[in-house]
Amino acid sequence: MIPLHQPFISGNEIKYIEEVIKSRNLSGNGKFTNLCHQFLQQEFNFDYVKLTDSCTAALDMVSILLNISPGDEVIVPSYTYITSANPFVLKGAKIVYADSLSDNPNIDPAQLPKLFTEKTKVIVVMHYGGIACEMDEIMEIANSHNIYVVEDAAHSLGATYKNRFLGSIGHFGAFSFHTTKNVTSGHGGLLVINDEQFYERAEIIWEKGTNRKMFLDGEVNKYEWYDVGLSFYPSEITAAFLWAQLQNLLMINAERLKSWDYYYEVLKNIPQIKLLEVKDYSLHNAHLFCLKTPNREKRNILICELKNNGIMATFHYLPLHLSPYAKTENTIKLKEAEDWADSLVRIPLYYDIRTEDQDFIIQKIKSIVQNW
């Protein structure tokens, strides 16, 4: 079976983990955490970063920093993973679901003004597959209403929008280092803060609500409980694994882009399917490759036939507004999000996928869809 994805391994992961073990500094916020922070700030022009245990944890930090509470409303794309909504739900916020665009699954900015109320506090945008949302339009709308923008950039490390790195445009950015991502620590994440007013409090929340950093820096003789917080940062073993990956990030993304382009140049000419639109001013990171079939029936046929030929393929998100948790008697209709859920198919893409495997996948897709 050709897998849908598989993690890149540099060879230095074990070396760095052994260094951590020998140092006896296992708990986190040490040498490798600092190396990751420095790299991410320098490579992507992020002003303030904090490694976290997951992208969910990064978004949870945002919900604390913004004092999300019952009565607040948070706009979230319906076509996204549950992580985009859960941290805000846990603080009591009402989730307001937004529709997708017709040419890619990202949030439709034109929908936003219709969704605002006096209780709207946050807009969460998710860059699907590392393809940028229309951030200029989104930021202009949000700023005109004094609403915070959170970029769920779980797919998007290294991708850009008009020469700005995703995650650096909104007030906050959240990334994932889950095993399915371009670089991984098995399970991990990153919070990027682009608004200076939150830096100091973020440090305290990240340190379980204490002023431990001030203590370690010699500014106070003891550390105390200053604020709410959790144990957000990963262990040094996780950070060491991630450091081995980050050192290869540019190469990983470049190789994935070659494979993505190889698919695109052939599959774009097949009339029975559609591919995502990528604007000239956006540079994605080839996080995944997907195509759009005419309907759910055709989607299921394509997935089943590919699997019968030893090719792992799958659809992706189910719309959040139709989930058992969110569904009510007054279910809303979000046409494009529902259409993407019914028609999108993901096919194998990873760092060292072989050209001959791609050729086999392409040939099978052509064969399956030719009579649609």
DSSP-derived letter for residue 188 is -
Question: Residue 337: which of 25, 108, 177 has the closest Cα?
Answer: 108
Which position has the token pair 């860059």?
Answer: 127
For residues 47 and 170, what is the distance between their CA atoms, to the nearest angstrom?
A: 12
Q: Tell me, rounded to whole angstroms, the distance of Cα 295 from its chain centroid.
A: 26
User: Exposed (0-12), middle (13-18) or buried (19+): which is 241, by Cβ within 10 Å?
Assistant: buried
Q: Tell me, rounded to whole angstroms, the distance of Cα 145 from its chain centroid.
A: 25
Residues in the chain: 372
Q: What torsion do the CA atoms of 182, 81, 129, 110 make, to the nearest 10 degrees? A: -150
The b-or-e profile of 110-120 (16+ CB within 10 A means b, else e) is: ebbeeebeeeb
Are 240 and 17 contacting, i.e. CB atoms less than 8 angstroms apart?
yes
Q: Could you give the residue numbers annotated as active site?
A: 181
The token duo for 66 is 């913004």
Sheet with 164-165, edge to edge strand ranges: 164-165, 160-161, 282-283
Which position has the token pair 């540079």?
Answer: 283
The token duo for 246 is 């980050």
Question: Could you give the C-alpha distances from 50 to 27, 43, 86, in angstroms and in order?
Answer: 15, 15, 20
CB atoms closer than 10 angstroms to residue 302: 24
Question: Residue 46: which of 180, 133, 158, 188 has the closest Cα?
Answer: 158
| Coil, strand or helix at 247 | coil
| Coil, strand or helix at 284 | coil
